């Protein structure tokens, strides 16, 4: 055989080997997706939202399988979806027409598509710290199948920036489409190692039709294998440039190719990283176990939703965005950019569950954009006014210290601060910063971060002080910016109770922080300022005739008489008169504000009420978070539990695991303009769950915590057919450097009755860490409860010599809604104590009856009072309706206003021509 023939044969063999090798590399070995007890699944709802979010990228889609992709801050594509061709057919089968189920865990979302000849499971996840997404197709087919992924290229940055010169082309080396723009400031690839080109896009522009590629699968070919599809990006990381932000740089194509290859070849590694990350998030933060399994799930998903708000922008750095949602043909992915106020409010929910690093990082990011004399907004002219006053003796910089309201991720591709007016347009953001800083320091014990931030905190405080034009100690909105509302009749108000409430709490917290850093001058000033400002809340906002606090006041002192829950912020912080607070809560517990799906922003009896109006009637979980926490803190536990349940249901009714931004004020349905995944809506139930229902408050610096729960009387679990009266278990409660486990358990009566009048509670605790801690346990019981005794299990009580003996105290709040027996436990290792009492009248939780699209219809508990052997239960219900309420009464009790039989109150409301809520008082004579 000639030498030339040998060479030719070797070349042919080499080509065949290379082709065979390339063919064998188009799939990857399948690996196990680990079971996760947080899994949420249901029949897919093709028009319902879902998302998967990572630090550097996010995917937002419908349960049909269609989605848009973001690699912060770029949107490379939208309308990604699958089609299928069977055999030689040219008639596509659309994925959205055959989607069957959706399964969601924190690490991966799986969509299952089923047809007579094939099943395709699409596993979707975002690597934790990579600019891309991985889709793994698990395919079983009985006939040759072509899978056709397609998408519309976009290549635009986030609102409000824009670029031109976009282009795309197919690259045979990667088997995918390359997407970029004329300056190559970012590059993306969407493809699969198994992909084949189907479209030839025009040069230097995008086509109107989707870009598609084809993946051919033979029966049995993918058994034990996944087909990877990857969307990968390459963006320059300029976030480490210091104070001088770097311009966007030109990217090299090798960078995005390397990312693309790395993602599909290491899919199992990235999946495991996601799984391990969320397991660590769950196990390293506080866990709460209650008899309500839905509440337990919502709590863990709340931690995931809050953590997913933390993203990396390659130019701006690492911080917290407000939420996510579809941008469609636009460039706003929900509120997927940085909002200061949202970060500060959400950080309090993070602090409450022990997510301290995320909270600190979010706070540190906002400090970068605090207003300075010539940064980030530049003076346009040297003569621009820099000071509030021309009087040199009282001059202060005009807006130095103000915290930014919002920052688009596209800053640098546009001049966000100087060309747009949104950056600093809210007044409430700055006092929220002070409140959030104090909450973080108190809960985490991180005084070092406070010391590093003290200059920033003082600047923020000074800015707030400068916004008091009438010298009454309260902040004015005039000249400061927006407060609670952003448009409409009430926007021009001089002062609103929401912003003033946040500010008075900020003053209080300023004294606390000043004392921690040793700034005695600042502490004295804040003490005097608080004594001046707090009484003005009562003077400016209390309305005696209406019996509740006003929303706001004009410059002339005229009060706004509309009924709104905005004073819930000041109530939550305990800044208002206790008796007036009780009256206000009872007024707000009415059905004109409280619905089966949350709290309206305005009474439905107001002439300004519009059920779909963003600010004047819609239901906001954000507003519910403050008022709902206040309900619990001021002992209205039955009505508080109703609102908490209503907000928790949203975690499962819409996109699985997250909560939409805002709802109709008339129907249990998300507003069309509302974004699907809003961070402060998750806080809407997390904050009242921990701070209200559990009544948990940590003081890390003093190695102490308070557990003051307001738990339903009928909470129990069933084990082996028997009721187990374990109310709550708190695991991994972090108090400084100690980790604490607590179990609060009801002591059942001798006959084991569910709503037993005789019983009590026990508290057991253990901890890891040096030294000792102090726990004040103060659970609520019904008004009139008779406390018998405190018992301490000394076999399980390990005290250091200087520890105090457990002590018992009993208190009845001003509102008379319940009674608290408080046990102070100071221990080093293990403690176990119990309190015995006789309940007055245990009342079960009212049933929350609501489904998507329903009107408000459930019974409303307004108040419960006990006086001279009588109990007064005030409720509201729909006319021509009857309701049942579990209650435990002895044979001597007499009931008026309802019927009592076999442990149930039956409450009947009279007929009316039109359905309306009617208030009714039920009197129970106990003896």
Under a CB-based contact definition with an 8 Å cutoff, are residues 728 and 716 in contact? no
Look at residue 891 in the predicted model and tell me its pLDDT. 73
Do 899 and 869 touch, CB atoms closer than 8 A? no
Q: How many CB atoms lie under 10 A from the CB of residue 449? A: 17
Which band of pLDDT confidence, cut at 50, 70 and 90, is reported for residue 398? Answer: confident
CA 580 to chain centre: 30
Mean pLDDT of 549-559: 93
Q: Band of the pLDDT at 847, cuts 50, 70, 90?
A: confident
What is 31-265's CATH topology? Beta-galactosidase; Chain A, domain 5 (2.70.98)
Cα 310 to Cα 338: distance, rounded to the nearest angstrom:
10
For residue 334, what pLDDT is reported? 94
The reply to whether 713-838 shares the fold of 285-378+388-693 is: no
Closest of 674, 617, 623, 676 to residue 646, by C-alpha = 623
- Domain boundaries defined on the chain: 31-265, 285-378+388-693, 713-838, 868-925
Residue 7 has pLDDT above 50, yes or no: no
Is 70 exceeded by the pLDDT of residue 238?
no
Q: Region 327-351: what's the mean pLDDT? A: 96
Task: Summarize pLDDT for 854-883 with one digit per residue, the tens.
Answer: 999 999 999 998 888 888 999 999 999 999
Write the pLDDT tens digit of every residue in 119-134.
999 999 999 999 999 9
Q: pLDDT of 416-460, one tens digit each? A: 999 999 999 999 999 999 999 999 999 999 999 999 999 999 999
Query: In the structure, what pLDDT confidence band is assigned to residue 597 with cuts at 50, 70 and 90?
Result: very high
Predicted local distance difference test score (pLDDT) of residue 490: 84
Minimum mean pLDDT range among 222-231, 370-379, 413-422, 604-613: 370-379
Residue range 699-716: average pLDDT? 92
pLDDT of residue 39: 98
**Most confident region among 242-256, 290-304, 473-487 by mean pLDDT:** 290-304
**What pLDDT band is residue 841 in, cutting at 50, 70 and 90?**
confident
Residue 561 zone, left/alpha/beta (φ > 0; ψ -120 to 50; rest): alpha
Residue 620, pLDDT > 90, answer yes
The pLDDT tens digits for 652-673 are 999 999 999 999 999 999 999 9
**Among 433, 449, 430, which residue's Cα sits nearest to residue 700?**
449
pLDDT at 756 exceeding the cut of 50: no
Is the pLDDT confidence value at 512 over 90? yes
The secondary structure of residue 701, as a DSSP letter, is G
In DSSP notation, 234-258 reads E----TTSTTSPPPP-PPPHHHHHH
CA-to-CA dists, residue 118 to 98, 129, 158, angstroms: 11, 34, 38
The fold of the 713-838 domain, in CATH, is Chondroitinase Ac; Chain A, domain 3 (2.60.220)
Which of 135-149, 565-579, 888-902 bottoms out in mean pLDDT, i.e. has the lowest? 888-902
Q: Say what the pLDDT of residue 301 is.
A: 98
Q: What's the pLDDT band for 890 if we cut at 50, 70, 90?
A: confident
Q: What's the confidence (pLDDT) of residue 36?
A: 97
CATH number at 285-378+388-693: 1.50.10.10
Who has greater pLDDT, 644 or 827?
644
Give me the pLDDT at residue 723, please.
62
Q: What is the mean pLDDT of the chain?
A: 90
pLDDT for residue 761? 81
- Per the model's pLDDT, the better-predicted residue between 246 and 908 turns out to be 908
What pLDDT band is residue 18 in, cutting at 50, 70 and 90? very low
The pLDDT-based confidence of 813 (bands split at 50, 70, 90) is low
* pLDDT interval class at 802 (50, 70, 90): very low
> What percent of the chain has a predicted confidence (pLDDT) above 70?
89
Q: Count of CB atoms within 10 A of residue 325's CB?
A: 22
Mean pLDDT on 87-94: 93
Once rounded to an integer, what is the mean pLDDT over residues 789-793? 66
Is residue 124 within 8 A of residue 112, CB to CB? The reply is: no
The pLDDT value given to residue 718: 60
Picking from 5-14, 302-311, 814-823, which range would have the lowest pLDDT averaged per residue?
5-14
pLDDT at 821 over 90: no
- Asked whether residue 386 carries a pLDDT value surpassing 70, the answer given is no
**pLDDT at 833 (0 to 100):** 81
- Residue 397, pLDDT above cutoff 70: no
**Which distant-in-sequence residues (6+ apart) come within 8 Å of 125 by Cβ?**
52, 107, 108, 109, 133, 134, 270, 271, 274
User: Rounded to two decimals, what is the model's pTM?
Assistant: 0.93
User: In the prediction, which pLDDT does 47 show?
Assistant: 96
Mean pLDDT of the 288-310 span: 97
């Amino acid at each position: 055989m000639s030498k030339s023939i040998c060479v030719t044969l070797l070349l042919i063999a080499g080509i065949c080997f290379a082709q065979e090798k390339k063919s064998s590399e188009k799939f990857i070995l399948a690996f196990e997706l680990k079971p996760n007890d947080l899994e949420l699944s249901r029949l897919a709802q093709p028009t319902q939202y879902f998302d998967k979010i990572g630090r550097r990228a996010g995917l937002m889609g419908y349960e049909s399988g269609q989605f848009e992709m973001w690699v912060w801050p770029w949107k490379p594509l939208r309308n990604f979806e699958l089609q299928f061709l069977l055999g030689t057919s040219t008639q596509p089968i659309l994925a959205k027409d055959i989607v069957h189920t959706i399964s969601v865990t924190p690490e991966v979302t799986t969509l299952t598509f089923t047809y007579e000849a094939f099943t395709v499971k699409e596993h979707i996840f975002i690597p934790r710290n990579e600019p891309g997404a991985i889709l793994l197709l698990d395919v079983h087919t009985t006939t040759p199948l072509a899978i056709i992924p397609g998408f519309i290229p976009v290549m635009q940055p986030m609102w409000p920036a824009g670029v031109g010169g976009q282009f795309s082309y197919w690259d045979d080396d990667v088997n995918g489409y390359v997407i970029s723009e004329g300056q190559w400031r970012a590059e993306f690839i969407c493809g699969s190692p198994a992909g084949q080109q189907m479209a030839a896009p025009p040069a230097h522009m995008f086509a109107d039709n989707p870009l598609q590629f084809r993946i051919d699968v033979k029966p049995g070919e993918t058994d034990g294998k996944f087909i990877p599809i990857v969307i990968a990006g390459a963006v320059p990381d300029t976030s480490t440039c210091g104070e001088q932000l770097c311009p966007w740089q030109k990217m090299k194509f090798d960078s995005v190719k390397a990312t693309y290859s790395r993602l599909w070849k290491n899919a199992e590694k990235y999946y495991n990283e996601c799984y391990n990350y969320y397991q660590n998030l769950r196990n390293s933060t506080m866990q709460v176990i209650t008899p309500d399994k839905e509440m337990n799930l919502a709590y863990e998903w709340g931690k995931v939703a809050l953590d997913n708000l933390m993203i990396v922008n390659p130019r701006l750095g690492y911080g917290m965005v407000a939420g996510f949602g579809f941008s469609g043909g636009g460039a706003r992915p929900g509120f997927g950019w940085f909002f200061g106020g949202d970060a500060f409010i959400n950080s309090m929910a993070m602090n409450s569950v022990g997510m301290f690093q995320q909270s600190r990082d979010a706070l540190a990011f906002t400090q970068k954009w605090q207003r300075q004399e010539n940064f980030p907004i530049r003076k346009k002219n040297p003569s621009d006014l820099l000071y509030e006053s021309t009087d040199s003796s009282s001059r202060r910089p005009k807006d130095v210290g103000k915290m930014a309201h919002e920052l688009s991720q596209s800053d640098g591709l546009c001049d966000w601060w100087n060309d747009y007016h949104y950056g600093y347009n809210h007044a409430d953001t700055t006092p929220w910063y002070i409140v959030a800083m104090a909450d973080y320091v108190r809960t985490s014990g991180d005084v070092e971060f406070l010391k590093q931030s003290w200059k920033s905190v003082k600047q923020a405080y000074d800015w707030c002080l400068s916004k008091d034009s009438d010298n009454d100690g309260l902040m004015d909105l005039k000249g400061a910016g927006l407060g609670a509302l952003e448009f409409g009749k009430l926007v021009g108000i001089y002062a609103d109770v929401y912003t003033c409430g946040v500010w008075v709490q900020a003053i209080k917290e300023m004294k606390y922080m000043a004392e921690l850093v040793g700034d005695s001058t600042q502490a004295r000033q804040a003490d005097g300022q608080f004594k001046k400002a707090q009484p003005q809340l009562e003077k400016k906002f209390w309305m005696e005739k209406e019996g509740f606090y006003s929303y706001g006041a004009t410059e002339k002192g005229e009060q706004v008489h509309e009924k709104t829950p905005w004073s819930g912020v000041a109530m939550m912080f305990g800044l208002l008169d206790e008796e007036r607070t009780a009256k206000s809560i009872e007024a707000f517990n009415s059905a004109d504000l409280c619905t089966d799906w949350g709290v309206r922003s305005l009474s439905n009896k107001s002439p300004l009420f519009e059920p779909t109006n963003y600010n004047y009637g819609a239901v906001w979980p954000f507003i519910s978070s403050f008022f709902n926490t206040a309900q619990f803190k001021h002992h209205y536990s039955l009505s508080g539990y109703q609102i908490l349940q209503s907000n928790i249901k949203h975690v499962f009714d819409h996109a699985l695991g997250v909560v939409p931004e805002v709802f109709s004020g008339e129907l249990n349905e998300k507003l069309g303009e509302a974004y699907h995944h809003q961070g402060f809506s998750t806080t809407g139930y997390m904050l009242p769950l921990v701070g209200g229902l559990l009544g948990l408050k940590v003081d890390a610096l003093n190695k102490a915590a308070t557990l003051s729960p307001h738990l339903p009387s009928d909470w129990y679990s069933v084990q082996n057919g028997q009721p187990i009266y374990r109310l709550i278990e708190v695991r991994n409660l972090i108090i400084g450097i100690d980790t604490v486990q607590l179990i609060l358990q009801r002591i059942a009566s001798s006959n084991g009755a569910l709503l037993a009048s005789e019983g009590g509670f026990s508290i057991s605790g253990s901890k890891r860490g040096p030294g000792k801690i102090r726990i004040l346990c103060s659970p609520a019981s019904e008004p009139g409860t008779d406390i018998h005794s405190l018992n301490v299990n000394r076999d399980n009580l390990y005290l250091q010599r200087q520890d105090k003996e457990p002590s018992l105290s009993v208190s009845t709040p001003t509102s008379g809604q319940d009674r608290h027996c408080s046990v102070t436990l100071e221990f080093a290792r293990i403690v176990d104590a119990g309190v015995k009492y006789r309940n007055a009248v245990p009342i079960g939780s009212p049933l929350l009856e609501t489904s998507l699209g329903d009107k408000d219809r459930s019974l409303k508990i307004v108040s419960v009072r006990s006086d001279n052997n009588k109990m007064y239960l005030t409720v509201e219900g729909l006319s021509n309706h009857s309701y049942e309420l579990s209650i435990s009464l002895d044979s001597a009790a007499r009931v008026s206003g309802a019927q009592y039989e076999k442990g149930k109150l039956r409450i009947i409301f009279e007929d009316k021509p039109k359905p309306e809520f009617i208030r009714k008082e039920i009197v129970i004579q106990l003896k």
